Amino acid sequence: MGEDDDKKALGEEIAELESRLQTARARLPLKTEIQSLDKATTHLSIHSCKKGLRTTTPETHFILLLSDSALPLGSFAFSSGLESYTAHRPATASTPRETIERFLKLSVSSLSHTTLPFVLEAHKQPGAALTLDDVFDASTICTVARRASVSQGRALLTVHEKSFASSLPPSPALETYRRALRMGNVQDRASGHFPVVYGVLCNIAGISLEETGYLFLLGHVKAVLSAAVRQSLIGPYHMQALLAAQETREIMDDALTVAEGIAVEDAGQSVPTLDLYQGRHELLYSRVFNS
Amino acid sequence: MSKLPPTPPPLIPSKPPPLPGYGLIHARLLPPSHTTLPHLHFAYPLKLISIASTPSTTNSYQTVFQLTYGGGLVSNDQVNLRIVVETNAKLCLLTQGSTKIFKQKSDGHKTRQALDVRLCRGARLLLLPDPLQPFGESVFSQIQRFWLEEDGGMVVLDWVTEGRAARGERWDLESFESRNEVYCLDSGRLLLRDAILLKSVPSTDGDSNNTQKESLRSKMDGLVVFATLIIRGAAFERLATYAKNKFSKEPRIGGRNFDAGGDESGGEVGGVPVKTRRRRDVLWTVSEVRGFVLVKVSGWALEEVRGFLRELLIDGEDVVGEFGEDCLLCLR
């Protein structure tokens, strides 16, 4: 039953992404026409494939790959604290829809103060990945959140190694990082935290800083909402409605603005209740998710 | 990564600058086991009072009370306290009553508190202040940095309450920031960073923006206090283990209580289905991070959280064993 819902949600997501891709493609020649012609020709030769205007840039291509739910990160195993949050709240206090809508806001706000600054910094300085990984490890207190971060970060590294590496320029920064995960000395061993790996990988794929932040946020929003669908808080149609909603995009925009103003050393928890609820995930009698 | 890395207080004491709010505590062990305070400096608005443990104690320690005039910090007050605890010395830092943080009077007048602690080998620090109490419209930022040498032990409590609840102030502060950072003294590596950032949400009246933002008060789900207890070092190992065990024995959420002795079973407290629980109105969690054990406690009643922490520290034995029961002043 859950699988059907998943497939449905996935199908819808793909359709949505495809339509976005089409509109983006449609806009491309239009935009360039407005610019002066001679400029337009050089512009196009840099940014699009040689075959013509119909194909997309490699950056957009990787954006779509990274936003795909089929990316094998195991994100479906994590609810980012949603499961424990709902268990801690009386069922009568709000409708399931209100519950998930509130949680989504709190979760994104928290993410913008704790995790997103690390994604952006890793994108800006891939060479500092090891230090960032260490600082993120020191700053992430909640055991459950740590587990989720390391698991997805390592999975993304594996995806890069096995799937993307052959199509992307070689990255010494990522190689050093990967080697540090296997360091014999436990003290110097890197953890492979998700935001750091994500930032570095997006940098290699040529995705811009803003788009990297947006992509990471979208991935988080999708993961939370898909957990909500599987927890039967909302149906797959409402999930898509929330994903498409202007309000959700505003939340994401706000989060990006906030995160851009926070240096990694100034990151911290802005919604302390979430840490508590998520930390108590371990105490759930029965649980579907890993976080 | 742009800022300069912070530096630990120097081992050789230098008198702090005679500036408002600057202070220094230097604790030294006189063999075999007598802790003394060769240096104790402070300037208004900071005040320090020291009390030595009773001489009969075989393993003596020093207690210092950190006081503020009028029991609080007003707009633009800045406190800078440096502490050095030398090899094997023991220091206990307490307050007398909650630290009230008053309303900000004009823009840019932030109230700040900075604590820099150097813990040498085998040194033990107990930091058990009363909670911070940010009043409505207050702007406060605190940073507590600890540099650990091998085997340095610490138990640090950092907590904040909702404000003057009696006057209807519940998380009405303008902004509040508290960070605890622990560094390795030799390498300067950051070992732990625990930070909480609270900010009031600007009211969006008359804004074209139709997004309704949740107020800070509402975000807190009715919780009145957030406490973090940081435990580190061999000296406090029993406490750390006790906290971990206690958490693992917490009743499962949403499960049925099949135990025969379910005398406290049933009911819901503050929305949490509770089957068996000794302390009601308390929400807590334990995590083990890079050699630290952190206990996060929150609740719907301050007295319950106080009682919970008190029980934890007494049952965990180490703190009372090292510093006696008098150190639990803030938890009475």
Between chain A and chain B, the number of residue pairs with CB atoms below 8 A apart is 117
Mean of the per-residue pLDDT values for chain B?
86
Nearest to A221 by CA among A108, A139, A60: A108
Task: Provide the pLDDT confidence category of residue B255 given band limits of 50, 70 and 90.
Answer: low
Which residues, in sequence order, are bridge partners of residue B59?
A: none
Residues of B in Cβ contact (< 8 Å) with A280: 253, 283, 285
What is the rounded distance in angstroms from the CA atom of residue A252 to the CA atom of residue A217? 7
**Does A9 reside within a domain?**
no
- Indicate the residue type of A123: H
Instruction: Work out the average pLDDT over A264-273.
Output: 95
Q: SS3 sequence, chain B?
A: CCCCCCCCCCCCCCCCCCCCCEEEEEEEEECCCEEEEEEEEECCCEEEEEEECCCCCCCCCEEEEEEEHHHEECCCCEEEEEEEECCCCEEEEEECCCEEECCCCCCCCCEEEEEEEEECCCCEEEEECCCEEECCCCEEEEEEEEEECCCCEEEEEEEEECCCHHHCCCCCCCEEEEEEEEEECCCCCEEEEEEEEEECCCCCCCCCCCCCCCCHHHHCCCCCEEEEEEEECHHHHHHHHHHHHHHHCCCCECCCCCCCCCCCCCCEECCEECCCCCCCCEEEEEEEECCEEEEEEEECCHHHHHHHHHHHHHHCCHHHHHHCHHHHHHHC
Contact A143 B289 (CB under 8 A): yes
pLDDT given for residue B263 in this prediction: 40
**Contact (CB, 8 A) for B157 and B229:** yes
pLDDT given for residue B56 in this prediction: 58
Closest-CA residue of chain B to A117: B1
A128: contact with B, CB 8 A cutoff:
yes
Instruction: Work out the average pLDDT over B194-198.
Output: 97
**Does A110 reside within a domain?**
yes
Residues of B in Cβ contact (< 8 Å) with A134: 189-190
**In chain B, % of residues over pLDDT 70:** 87
Give the closest of A132, A141, A264 to B194, CB-based.
Answer: A141
Range of lowest pLDDT (A235-239, B272-276, B314-318): B272-276
Task: Provide the pLDDT confidence category of residue A54 given band limits of 50, 70 and 90.
Answer: low
Has residue B49 got a pLDDT over 70? Answer: yes
**Contact (CB, 8 A) for A172 and A195:** no
**Contact (CB, 8 A) for B332 and B266:** no
Instruction: Work out the average pLDDT over B65-85.
Output: 89
pLDDT digits (tens, 9 = 90+) for A104-121: 999 999 999 999 999 999
**ipTM field:** 0.89
Has residue A81 got a pLDDT over 80? Answer: yes
Instruction: Work out the average pLDDT over B192-196.
Output: 97
Instruction: Work out the average pLDDT over B57-83.
Output: 86
Task: Provide the pLDDT confidence category of residue A100 given band limits of 50, 70 and 90.
Answer: very high
B233: left (phi over 0), alpha (psi -120 to 50) or beta: left
Alpha helices in A89-163 (DSSP H): 96-114, 116-124, 129-139, 143-159
pLDDT given for residue A43 in this prediction: 43
**In chain B, % of residues over pLDDT 90:** 62
- In a 13 Å sphere around the CA of A163, the CA atoms on its Cβ side amount to 14
Nearest to B182 by CA among B167, B192, B197: B192
**Does A74 reside within a domain?**
no
Nearest-CA distance B4 → chain A (Å): 11
pLDDT digits (tens, 9 = 90+) for A154-188: 999 999 999 999 999 999 999 999 999 988 777 77
Range of lowest pLDDT (A219-223, A241-245, B33-37, B123-127): B33-37
Cis, peptide link before residue B32, omega less than 30° from 0: yes
Provide the domain limits for residue A194: 58-67+96-283
**Does A86 reside within a domain?**
no
Has residue A40 got a pLDDT over 60? Answer: no
Instruction: Work out the average pLDDT over B237-263.
Output: 76
pLDDT given for residue B256 in this prediction: 56
Task: Provide the pLDDT confidence category of residue A32 given band limits of 50, 70 and 90.
Answer: very low
Task: Provide the pLDDT confidence category of residue A53 given band limits of 50, 70 and 90.
Answer: low
Residues 12-71 of A with CB under 8 A from B: none
Nearest-CA distance A22 → chain B (Å): 29
Instruction: Work out the average pLDDT over A69-92.
Output: 88
Has residue B11 got a pLDDT over 60? Answer: yes
Residues of A in Cβ contact (< 8 Å) with B219: 106, 271, 273
Give phi and psi for B298, each to the nearest 5.
Answer: -140, 170
Has residue B29 got a pLDDT over 70? Answer: yes
pLDDT given for residue B274 in this prediction: 36
pLDDT given for residue A91 in this prediction: 73
Instruction: Work out the average pLDDT over A26-44.
Output: 46
Element (H, E) at A242: helix A236-244
Total structural domains within chain A: 1
Residues of B in Cβ contact (< 8 Å) with A282: 247, 285
CATH number at residue A209: 1.10.4190
Has residue B269 got a pLDDT over 60? Answer: no
**What 3-state DSSP class applies to A201?**
helix
**Contact (CB, 8 A) for B97 and B71:** yes
- Strand B153-161 with B175-184, pairing: unpaired
Residues 154-183 of B with CB under 8 A from A: 177, 179
Q: Which residues, 6+ apart, have CB-to-CB distance to B202 below 8 Å?
A: none
pLDDT given for residue B326 in this prediction: 86
**Does A30 reside within a domain?**
no
- Indicate the residue type of B280: R
pLDDT digits (tens, 9 = 90+) for B54-66: 765 567 899 999 9
Has residue A97 got a pLDDT over 50? Answer: yes
pLDDT given for residue B254 in this prediction: 77
Task: Provide the pLDDT confidence category of residue A291 given band limits of 50, 70 and 90.
Answer: confident
Nearest to A272 by CA among B28, B228, B8, B138: B228
pLDDT given for residue B52 in this prediction: 83
Nearest-CA distance B198 → chain A (Å): 6
Instruction: Work out the average pLDDT over A194-208.
Output: 96
Suggest the residue from A99, A137, A141, A275 to mutate for an interface test with chain B (most B CBs closer than 10 A): A141
What is the rounded distance in angstroms from the CA atom of residue B128 to the CA atom of residue B157? 5
**Does A150 reside within a domain?**
yes
What is the rounded distance in angstroms from the CA atom of residue A157 to the CA atom of residue B300? 42
Q: Is B55 buried (19+), middle (13-18) or exposed (0-12) by CB count in 10 A?
A: exposed
Nearest to B216 by CA among A78, A273, A51: A273
